[in-house]
Amino acid sequence: MVNSMVLFQSVSLEMTNRAGMALAQSLQDHPLYEWVQVRAGRAPGDADGAGVNMAHVDVESRFLALQDREAAVQQLACEVSAIARCCA
């Protein structure tokens, strides 16, 4: 599952990385997710370049999550909301 995390426009790359790492750590030992990867920043020549306030969050679901995808996505949304409240 690939998600985009977009913070306010004036947010720095460092803050985007911190928010991404907080989300990754909150999902690290969750039984629904195998692994989480956060990618932020720009690369030279990147045709898909986005601002430093945006990150891609890749989440690999476990078989348990695939049995009830709607519940797994809802759980992920709850985790993202919790991180958003903490970082605000």
- Judged against a pLDDT cut of 70, whether residue 37 lies above it is answered with yes
What's 44's DSSP letter?
T
**pLDDT tens-digit readout, 20-33:** 888 888 888 888 88
Question: Is domain 2-87 annotated with CATH 3.30.70?
Answer: yes
- pTM for this model (two decimals): 0.74
Least confident window among 31-35, 38-42, 57-61: 38-42
Q: How many whole angstroms separate alpha carbon 23 and alpha carbon 84?
A: 9
Tell which residue, 50, 42, 40, has the closest CA to residue 15.
Answer: 40
SS3 48: coil
Residue length of the chain: 88
SS3 74: helix
